[in-house]
């Protein structure tokens, strides 16, 4: 097993690769996935902790299947599939690509072995590199390669989410890696940034890569509003808990209080009392004391919404968030920092806009005016999920470097908590 320090150095050295050409990007991004898996034992990579998560072995195979299915098979007449059964095993949700193994049963796939999956990755990597070296500048292939690279980056974040969830179920509560010592800044109250009401334009302008759900660019009208300069902290959230907020239905949406009661929620996911009745938290660094000034994470939309109401404020809309983020450089405490944890304000990007934690908004995940999904299986990437989910913005401490932009729209169901999810307060002016 690779040492934690070596893995951290690899992740650092491989960050920022999106400035390279497609072949170099492909090679570098593929290396990051294997660096993420490197600290794990084989046993760690075959277990599925819950239906929403996937085994690490499955992630490594699925992103490989994506390149094989959408780049090589349609465009390289010389390519021969590695194993005809892998399409069924490693298709995620693409109906147009054929039948697939049920998602909740991915942990039953003891075969193919991890060694076979790594051979599959090497086989497809070699075929992609050979193919890209032989073809001219092909617009369709280039677009699919960019999509595949961004898709693998999304799965790199999922891998770390799923590793944490898996290790949290283990009574030994193992650590994935050791923390990097970072001086933590002091923290005072919120500073509110005010924004005028009026006509704004949001959505991607088409000048670089984006997912289809970031388009089309369109105008929206906003009332005057303000956003906090920081994410809500563990200290803030402890005050909410100590005020009995989990048992106060007036603070919650009806579905939210019902979900909290049904699941006996009393605190964020991964929080627990130790023998001295002090709050501890399961992290990628193992069990750690709650850091009061760090942003509170692993909250559902329902908890974020209830906290905002308790605080006398609200969650921002996604349009408000994007307007506030439009001129902020898309960098912060992301995967390349090696921290793998949210940090107090002042330790990352400006106002924690990018990195640390994905920020819940009050906006449902629906298509923008005029949105139309692309034809074929690739069109299933985002559009088919525009029902019952909420938009998050900004990225997290496990989002790969170079993956974020102000127009990026993430989305989760309102009850989900295993991602690195937090909140920022907004208010009307």
Distance from C-alpha of 33 to C-alpha of 46, rounded to nearest angstrom: 16
User: When comparing pLDDT for 5 and 400, which is higher?
Assistant: 400
Number of structural domains (the chain) is 2
Residues contacting residue 187 through CB under 8 Å, at least 6 positions apart: 230, 233, 235, 293, 344, 345, 346
Q: Is residue 389 part of a domain?
A: yes
Query: Residue 28's CB: how many other CB atoms inside 10 A?
Result: 18
Supply angle C-alpha 97, 99, 102, rounded to 5: 120
pLDDT at 324: 97
Residue 26 sits in a domain whose CATH number is 1.20.120
Assign 277 a pLDDT band (cuts: 50, 70, 90): confident
Q: Is the pTM of this model over 0.85?
A: yes
Predicted pLDDT of residue 186: 59
SS3 360: strand
Which one is predicted more confidently, 253 or 377?
253
pLDDT in tens, 327-369: 999 999 999 999 999 999 877 668 899 999 999 999 999 999 9
pLDDT of 30 higher than 80: yes
Residue 19: band (very low, low, confident or very high) from pLDDT cuts 50, 70, 90: very low
Residue 181 included in any domain = no
Q: pLDDT class for 4, splitting at 50, 70, 90?
A: very low
**Average pLDDT over every residue of 70-78:** 95
Give the tens place of pLDDT for each residue, 82-101.
999 999 999 999 998 999 99
Higher-confidence residue of 133 and 400: namely 400
35-72 tens-digit pLDDT: 999 999 999 999 999 999 999 999 999 999 999 999 99
Domain of residue 205: give its range: 192-428
Name the domain boundary from 117, 136, 169.
169
- If asked whether residues 392 and 248 sit together in one domain, one would say yes
Residues 164 and 209 in one domain: no
As a residue count, the chain comes to 429
- In this structure, the answer to whether residues 61 and 11 fall within a common structural domain is yes
Please indicate, yes or no, if residue 186 is contained in any of the structural domains.
no
Q: Indicate whether 122 and 248 sit together in one domain.
A: no
Q: Return the structure tokens found at 412.
A: 């989760």
In this structure, the answer to whether residues 298 and 361 fall within a common structural domain is yes
pLDDT mean across residues, the chain: 92
């Amino acid at each position: 097993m690779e040492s934690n320090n070596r893995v951290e150095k690899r992740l650092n050295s491989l960050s920022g690769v999106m400035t390279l050409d497609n072949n170099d990007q492909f090679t570098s991004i593929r290396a990051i996935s294997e660096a993420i898996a490197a600290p794990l034992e084989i046993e760690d990579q075959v277990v599925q902790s819950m239906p929403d998560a996937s085994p690490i072995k499955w992630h490594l195979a699925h992103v490989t299947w994506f390149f094989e299915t959408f780049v090589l098979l349609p465009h390289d007449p010389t390519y021969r599939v590695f194993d005809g059964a892998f399409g069924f095993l490693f298709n995620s949700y693409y109906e147009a690509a054929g039948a697939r193994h049920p998602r909740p049963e991915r942990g039953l796939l003891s075969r193919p072995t991890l060694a076979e999956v790594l051979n599959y990755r090497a086989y497809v990597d070699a075929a992609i590199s050979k193919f890209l070296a032989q073809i001219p500048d092909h617009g369709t292939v280039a677009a699919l390669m960019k999509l595949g690279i961004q898709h693998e980056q999304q799965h790199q974040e999922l891998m770390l989410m799923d590793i944490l969830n898996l290790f949290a179920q283990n009574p030994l509560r193992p650590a994935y890696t050791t923390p990097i010592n970072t001086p933590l800044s002091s923290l005072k109250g919120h500073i509110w940034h005010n924004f005028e009401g009026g006509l704004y334009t949001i959505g991607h302008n088409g000048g670089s890569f984006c997912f289809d759900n970031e388009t089309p660019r369109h105008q929206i009208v906003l009332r005057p509003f303000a956003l906090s300069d920081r994410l809500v902290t563990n200290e803030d959230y402890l005050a909410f808990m100590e005020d009995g907020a989990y048992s106060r239905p007036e603070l919650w949406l009806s579905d939210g209080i019902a979900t909290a009661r049904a699941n006996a929620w009393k605190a964020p996911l991964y929080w627990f009392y130790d023998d001295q009745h002090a709050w501890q938290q399961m992290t990628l660094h193992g069990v750690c004391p709650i850091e009061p000034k760090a942003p509170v994470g692993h909250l559902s939309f329902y908890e974020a919404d209830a906290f905002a109401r308790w605080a006398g404020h609200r969650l921002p809309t996604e349009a408000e968030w994007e307007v506030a983020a439009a001129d902020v450089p898309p960098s912060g405490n992301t995967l390349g920092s090696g921290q793998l944890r949210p940090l107090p304000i002042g330790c990352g990007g400006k106002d924690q806009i990018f990195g640390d934690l994905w920020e819940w908004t009050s906006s449902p995940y629906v298509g923008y005016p005029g949105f139309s999904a692309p034809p074929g299986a690739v069109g299933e990437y985002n559009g088919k999920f525009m029902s019952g989910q909420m938009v998050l913005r900004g990225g997290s401490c496990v989002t790969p470097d170079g993956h974020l932009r102000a127009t990026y729209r993430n989305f989760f169901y309102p009850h989900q908590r295993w991602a690195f999810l937090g909140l920022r307060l907004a208010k009307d002016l």
